[in-house]
Chain A
């Protein structure tokens, strides 16, 4: 079926048809690997979005050690518009289920997998940065031309400040990863 035979296009001139086709291909280029149209998007692999830790003490007189997750504990992916730069910020909610003496840090241990990526660059975040209750910049991504963004960027977490001097209970917090223009 030729496009000129579609009834709806009969009253469109050739110049407009070309414009529509261009728009269509531009939008196709914004589809991520999940077939979703994205302008600036970040998502986390559902199988790797949580970290639970149960520290232990074996010697009398000692306190809990610093806890460090697996180097690929969390995997996030980002998609950004072509020829754009974006920053990924991180913060956590804290609140009543947390204790201010517990200090979370995070670092990026891989660059993720980019397919058909030209002029793509990911930088920053390879050393631990503290995760506070206000957003702070984690790393940046820059893309000139690509289809699928940066997939499965490995993240590692570190927890300091766990101590027997804190009330014995379960502590939890939600970590937010936000992508925005640089």
Chain B
């Protein structure tokens, strides 16, 4: 016990600051309800890792073992993709596939942030990993960072998940800045087209094959997401679908969060690089939003039936948060304007867009 007390005295200022960081993550998760499933385990992982002589990390520490087994091998993020795929309903997108162009446009944040990062002196692989925060897709960010820049995994994960949770705060000012009230009031017709089960089954198979041919390295990413979706849509694997959506998602998220948190050791996390990554993550989300809105406005120059440019901003992967934000903003301008189905379509397209962009980054930067 005496030994423990003496060891406890060896708390450095860095350790104390990291306790504060863990506290902030707890506060965001518990009080603000921002991505609690990931931010809370991450906070606790950070707490465990910053206790001097912690047995949770180190050569035989269970969290280090989990890191080697699940992150270093890219296993956890890939398993998460199965769960995410089982949760996603591509129906709104299949009913209105034109929305896919917004899912492409909003990925511009990834590439612009990557360019910015190279300007700030990061290597190409590090810049690509930072840029992918702009995918607004936590698992893709973790997957790319765990391959290209494992040393930046912790700040990238924190930035990706924090900003995803902050979409309702980040997106509205950017959208307001780029649109007029008249543009925000634009109505869009919605046709409730019936999509057959055959299409819902063929879609994940088709995406896997096409994306796999374009960028074979993306097969793990896209393939397992679509595998999860096929389980959901095939109609004969309800038990597996539910297991993927609930048990698998919960278990892997829990392990992923606490394991990433355990890499937030003061000596590695409290660096100017972390601050730069957090700053660039925010820039990436702003670029994404602006990219989607500007693209929609540009489209309107050529379209006879105008698109509400706010829908372009929903082309990011933060689902369904971004769609809800757009719908709410539309209702604020005109309480009888219902943009939800269009925004959900663009949002689902963003999920596909982000994963395709992630796969392309992996293929091109290698």
A and B from one complex: no
Chain B interface residues (CB < 8 Å from chain A):
none
